[in-house]
Chain A
Amino acid sequence: MTAAEFTPIVFGAAVLGGFVGSLTGLGGGVIITPVLALFLGVDMRYAMGASLISVIATSSGAAAAYVRDGYSSIRIGMFLEVATTLGAVCGAYLSAHVSTRWLAVVFGVMLLQAAWQASHRPKEAAQPQAVDPLAARFKMGGSYPTEGGERRYTVRRVKTGFGLMFGAGAVSGLLGIGSGSLKVIALDQAMRIPFKVSTATSNFMIGVTAAASASLYLSRGYVDPSIVMPVMLGVLAGSMAGARLLPRLGVPLLRKAFAVVVGLIAIQMIVSGIRGAI
């Protein structure tokens, strides 16, 4: 295959990946890596490098809108970024010492978990009664706009959230993904931050987390310009289209169908990894 043939195929796959990623809430980068590795014969490391760069692009693009609308909390985000960036650096170092086979298996497991989570969103947890003293110390409470005016929220289990965020950062650096689904677990489930705030804040943090491992990926030669170019532009275009269509398409069934497809890809990733075909 020549570069002139390879580029539009990868671009098309990236548009589709970005579109499905934003519709399912999985994020644009997490789908393109298995597509490149399984179907287009690209080495895992090049796929991870291209995906990580596209993650920075989509997260920064989406975060701009969330920040403007006042959903994301710059304080919660910044505090937890201490954990995610440190985790990301550790993960990026670790990924150099793990074989691509095992990276594929871990990737598949993560993707499976993310697909399951995207299709089974738990009910919003009740607001905590007691305030974590750490949250008060770090001024993490806040308010966000709702139809009935500004709504206040408080934060709990800051230490647990911080620990989970280190893990989310490590997975992000290890696999070259945004690991938005793990970030949302920490924010939603552990810290009990309202959905809108946790989604927006998670998105806001993904770019900074990815930047922490991106320079290591770049210097290690994971970032191939001829792959990054169609992947980054395609994922960006696809996820922008997805975000625009989301309010109109908001059909739960469609999201579930996509989640099933992503789950199947995840299983194939695990199988390929175990058989050493990746």
Chain B
Amino acid sequence: MNLRKIGDHDIERMVSILLRIGVMVAGAVVLAGGIFYLLHHGGEVANHRTFHGQPAIDRIATKIFAGALALRARSIIQFGVLLLIATPILRVALALAGFALERDRTYTIVTLIVLCVLLGSLIAGVIQA
């Protein structure tokens, strides 16, 4: 592809593919974790009537990664959730690259603001946890 001639439609096509792959991969990971979870914990009592929050291992990204690598079922599901949250953020990052390549300064700045809010919320989440 000639990078100088990249247009809105090229960006849109890439975004479409990214969204599709992101959802499929995240869905597959959640499904795998779910099957694993039911095989090992299917007999446990499910009571979600009162709110207890979640233990740190299911709330903090780094601990979720570690848990998923250790094949802990709940961590695998949370890892799928993280992949899903990452999909729209990556989409914005991809749009940023596209606008920058198009040399559209206005939209490069607009997209950068959106990306900063998303990353800021991610960092605020980590601090909160």
- By a beta-carbon cutoff of 8 Å, the part of chain A in contact with chain B is 1-7, 41-46, 53, 56-57, 60-61, 63-65, 67-68, 70, 72, 74-75, 78-79, 81-82, 85-86, 88-89, 92, 100, 137-139, 207-208, 210-216, 218-230, 232-233, 236
Contacts and interface: CB of A to CB of B under 8 A. Distances in A.
A210 B92 CA distance: 13
A116 B121 CA distance: 33
A53 B84 contact: yes
Contact of B114 (A6, A63, A81, A139): A81
Contacts of A214: 85
What 9 pairs between A and B have smallest CB-CB spacing?
Answer: A221-B53, A4-B42, A6-B46, A215-B125, A225-B77, A219-B129, A221-B54, A219-B125, A229-B34
A211 B95 contact: no
B2 interface: no
Interface string B1-33: 000000011011101110110110011001101
B17 to A, nearest CB: 8
Contacts of B88: 56, 60, 207-208, 210-211
Nearest to B92: A208
Contacts of B92: 78, 81, 208
Contacts of A226: 37, 41, 46, 48, 74, 77
B19 A61 contact: yes
Contact of A78 (B43, B54, B107, B122): B107
Contact of B27 (A41, A74, A137, A233): A233
Contacts of A236: 23, 27
Contacts of A89: 117, 120-121, 124
Interface string B29-72: 01101100110011111111111111000111000000000000
Nearest to B117: A85
Contacts of B107: 75, 78-79, 138-139
A78 B38 contact: no
Given A60-B23, A212-B121, A226-B74, A82 B91 contact: no
B23 A211 contact: no
A18 to B, nearest CB: 13
